[in-house]
Amino acid sequence: MSTGTVDWRAAWTAALDDLEMDVVAVETMLADERRLAETPPSDMWRPPTELGALPLELKPRADEILTRQLAAAEEIARRLTANRQQMAMTSKIETGEAVKRPVYLDCAM
């Protein structure tokens, strides 16, 4: 095996390691809602440049990471929808405070 092939495989392995760590961070935040609210993600993964084609033996790992990413994205979308629905419902709840509505007085009569 040539040094170029080893470097290429190592670069892809490192790229997948970084991507997987990003997915783990999102999965961890989804599992701990308090942490999600207090610690938004700050260092999002960016695809490396000039890697070339993915080595065939790394394809199963890349597919598994993609599956996890899609599941995390689906869960985020589900939670956003639930949050919007909850906000819509809570906006309809009367709080007992004086309602600030415009009051019109018809003085024509």
Question: What digits encode the pLDDT tens for the residues 31-67?
Answer: 876 665 666 656 667 777 788 888 899 999 999 999 9
The mean pLDDT value for 1-9 works out to 73
The whole-number pLDDT of residue 9 equals 86
Other Cβ atoms less than 10 A from the Cβ of 64: the count is 13
CA distance 109 to 81: 49
- Identify which of 64, 24, 61 has the alpha carbon closest to the alpha carbon of residue 45: 24
Question: What digits encode the pLDDT tens for the residues 9-36?
Answer: 888 898 898 888 888 888 887 787 666 5
pTM: 0.55
* Cα separation of the two ends of the chain: 98
Residue 95 scores a pLDDT above 70: no
